[in-house]
Chain A
């Protein structure tokens, strides 16, 4: 169990904001912090990693105290066993892929882990290349592998896939899930892509203005009332068109467009850009707005 209780005043674009959260994370789960940019997700990550100081707070990871401001305990980033994948990859430009991984080894640690990771994340062909000769997806795979070298207790991914195209995203998501299961990790993910969040997470904390406003299983968090659908996807409304007495709503789900019929009262609650769930019970697909 990981317990995180933090308070910190942050200076955001529109004045100061109080970051105030108190959350528990079960071991072995993949947990997502979801929210708009500027909500304080990255600051929470940085405090957990020890890169940012909290005004007040406690972090305990499996009975070890990492931070307790009342007792004056604050472990350095170096002492916290985490794997951190930065949004902008942060590979060392002077080292090849393999050297980046070797650098992460602890003193006296068996090199076997490097070979293992290169196999799992399929970096074999890239291992002698420098980061500048890699594509975004390849860099992110290297960053993921590098974060795993120390065999961390917690893997933290700060919007790891936001710069990638849809296809590359799906592939990277699978790598992350594979690593998460294989190493029995507790993984924290920051994301604002609903599709990604629903696909990957066991549990979600929805963050707004520095506070947790909602939490639970993905589908509970994103739907206002329970839908017992036979199938359901999430997507974004691209177009709303009136045709005679009905409305046709075009929704982008992944890389596909889906057209769905809606009546006037339904259509009036929707706008272009809204995130929606498309679910079907028996015959007709249901549309529901998600927050």
Chain B
């Protein structure tokens, strides 16, 4: 069996999750505390990947990133970035596709915190940034963990977006979910079964760990 698609899948999920975390914390913070009128619009956009067929997202990204288009051409000329049929393109598509899975738990975490602890930090002379890192984030650890794991697992499970924008290039864009499809197409059920089984076990374990940690089972066990 070829391990490359599996390794590529986890590399993609890892990079995507890390970048998503950096993007989602400020975004979720803004969504949780803003009184701006454009909030509903932004919330809708963030949630769109939940309901939109992945192929729609993939299709538009494919059009946008295509070098024959202005935007794709500009990316190519100024940054030397070719985003279709490349790993970088997959990362960007995955970030968009998994955005709600990271933003929603973090936003809910912020919203559920009592606003008086934020005010308490302000009247103690602490800036918004210090309050965010020392007070808010440490108190929403379960939400952060949920966001990280859901985004990671969701990226592992994506298929449509990847297929549209990445194609099926071994070592570059051929992730596990595509490899499974590929093997089934060539009637190679044995290999397809192995990929599937490995994905099944890994995603099950990851989710189980989240529920164990957030449910406090591990703490009780250690005590």
Contacts and interface: CB of A to CB of B under 8 A. Distances in A.
Chains A and B belong together in one complex: yes
Interface of A: 49-51, 76-80, 82-84, 86, 88, 90-94, 103-104, 106, 146, 149-150
Contact of A92 (B117, B122, B123): B117
A134 to B, nearest CB: 15
Interface stretch (B50-58, B132-140, B204-212): B132-140
Contacts of A94: 135, 138-139
A188 B171 CA distance: 68
24 contacts: A49-B119, A49-B123, A50-B123, A51-B123, A79-B125, A80-B123, A82-B123, A84-B119, A84-B120, A86-B116, A86-B119, A90-B114, A91-B120, A92-B117, A92-B135, A92-B139, A93-B117, A94-B135, A94-B138, A94-B139, A103-B126, A103-B134, A104-B124, A150-B124
Given A92-B135, A94-B138, A78 B122 contact: yes
A186 to B, nearest CB: 16
B122 A77 contact: yes
B127 interface: yes
A77 B127 contact: no
A149 B120 CA distance: 13
3 cross-chain pairs, A with B, having the tightest CB-CB distances, nearest first: A90-B120, A94-B138, A90-B116
Interface in B103-120: 114, 116-117, 119-120
Size band of the interface chain B makes with A: 10 to 19
A106 B123 contact: no
B125 A106 contact: yes
Contacts of B120: 84, 86, 90-92
Contacts of A150: 124-125
Contacts of A106: 125
A90 B117 contact: yes
Nearest to B130: A103
Contacts of B125: 78-79, 104, 106, 150
A93 B138 CA distance: 9
Most central of B119, B121, B134 by chain A CB within 10 Å: B119
